[in-house]
Structure 1
């Protein structure tokens, strides 16, 4: 397997640097907007540079190096102007990406979407449901550590309900350490600390930190039956947990993933259901006409009885009918119903 470092030019003229093990797929994700983050609102993008490496760690080191370069130096790289790159290296001291961002407003360090790592998952259906939860909220990279029933699993697809891209690109690892080797920030989801003393955050706090931190983040989820083991939690730097009913603290795998993914998605430009304007309320005269029609029919049917209760009954009826704020169409529909009741059609 090869790993690639790439630079994209965005529609606003800024540059985005990343790494991947599938360059064509990753570029397509950037172009489609499914790859949430910096490029999502800066499409279309254009591939300006790519370089291949044998290991992910080599690619990650190169990515960090290039991210620290000035805009001028990156453009020299596109032209393969090695002399200018060498001169820039001699004349400009290496500084952090955050300092680059202040000196070059067109490019700033942007966190990448977190990787979801399922540790020893047991059922294919649960892997599929977790994939569905991920894609609902803009996450597409799943890693599996020693899935019990192997991978791929035929039961995962139907449960994913169309989140096939997540399952197709899922990677399998033998250990938690291997799965998160390229990640700078690792969170372990658990309702218990399991004897490990680490910072503890909520999904909201974790999402805020992930959005503010450069580099990859990974979020670990344990097997369905028992959750993460102490050794799994020990790999992480932070524990992620949720306030939960102490009398019933069991979340299934997909529920746990969706809680975390939803909090992360709040910082993304995901689509919301379109707002639909309601029809305006009917004019008061139309509403009075409908109520009058109903009262006349009820009077003819002998509903208003006894006589001393008629005013109160009429007020109750009017109050009930004016509560919903009927639209003009609803009033017309109801009057049609009343007219049909007054003069039923022969069958």
Structure 2
């Protein structure tokens, strides 16, 4: 059964290769989407090549809805996007995937049913299909090579949907012992180095000592140190002092 998560339906219009359908399913499930609709697949349905390419996303193919026409596939939707690099003279709003998926999220949250249409691999979407859409999604690709693989286009939009609807931590420190050092720990580290470097005569000439100390403190403040980092740096200085005192 499909998940209960509110989401758009991704509609594949006359896809030509089972492998591309499977890759599209995999791209959708990577980002938590599982509403696939397929219109008149060239090689019939079900397609074993699609299943093989989908890998762990085969459930999407089992649950995919298959239609004969575009009109049938989007008949229950209230807002439809067409992904194409060529509006072909039709006057419609044109959005990036980022803007479209943010808008789609708002529409779905207010109770609308949204679909995103993707055209056939070889020639893309025809005007008859585009005319049924309310808006166009255009990926800002290299204008000299604007063609996108079906699964690539699905993945770009699915990724933007995920960003628009999930609490994403856009930057984090990962790995073992990643607790960020507190200011008091940085202060003690700075004191330790300042004292030992002072004993070694580093702050010379005396007229520049205060400025050198400020620069050193500024260096510590710029570093994204973890508690483990601070311990290592303390240990390095202690060992250097012990080594020097053995001479």
Bin of the TM-score, shorter chain as denominator length: 0.5 to 0.7
2:24 aligns to what SS in structure 1? helix
Q: Deviations over 1:172-210 (max 9, x none)?
A: 344434433444544322122224x35325214444444
Give the aligned partner of residue 191 of structure 2.
Answer: 288
Aligned counterparts of 2:50 and 2:239: Cα–Cα separation in 1: 54
**How much has 1:116 moved relative to structure 2?**
0.9
Is it true that 1:333 corresponds to 2:232 in the alignment? yes
With normalisation by structure 2, the TM-score equals 0.67
Q: Quickly say closer, same or farther: Cα 1:119–1:183, change in 2 above 3 A.
A: same
Of 61, 64, 75, the residue aligned with 1:167 is 61
Confirm or deny: 8 A CA contact 1:189 1:240 kept in the other structure: yes
Q: Select the residue among 220, 238, 242 that pairs with 2:117.
A: 220
With the length of structure 1 as denominator, give the TM-score of the two structures: 0.51
Structure number with greater Rg is 1
Q: In the TM superposition, what whole-angstrom CA distance separates every residue of 1:233-252 from its partner, at most 9, and x where no partner exists?
A: 23x24232236256354444
CA distance in 1, matches of 2:116, 2:13: 10
What is the aligned length? 228
Match of 1:240 in 2: 136
Partner of 2:56, secondary structure, is coil
Offset at residue 119 of structure 1 (A) = 1.8
Q: How far does the alpha carbon of each residue in 1:4-33 deviate from its partner, in whole angstroms, 9 at most, with x for none?
A: xxxxxxxxxxxxxxxxxxxxx3xxx5xxxx
Matches within 5 A, 1:161-200: 162-195=56-89, 197-200=90-93
Q: Determine whether 1:36 maps to 2:5.
A: yes
Change in 2 beyond 3 A, CA 1:314/1:206: closer
Equivalences for 1:119-138 in 2 at 5 Å?
119-138=13-32
State the Cα deviation string for residues 311-330 of structure 1 (Å, max 9, x = none): 46665444323422645442
* Distance in structure 2 (CA, Å) of the matches to 1:162 and 1:175: 28
- Alignment partner, residue 176 of structure 2: none
The 1:124/1:320 distance shift into structure 2, 3 A limit, reads farther
Structure 1 vs Structure 2 CA RMSD? 4.1
Deviation at 1:335, TM superposition (A): 2.0
Give secondary structure in 1 for the equivalent of 2:33. coil
| Structure 1: gaps (5+ residues) | 1-24, 38-112
Structure 2, unaligned stretches of length 5 or more?
174-178
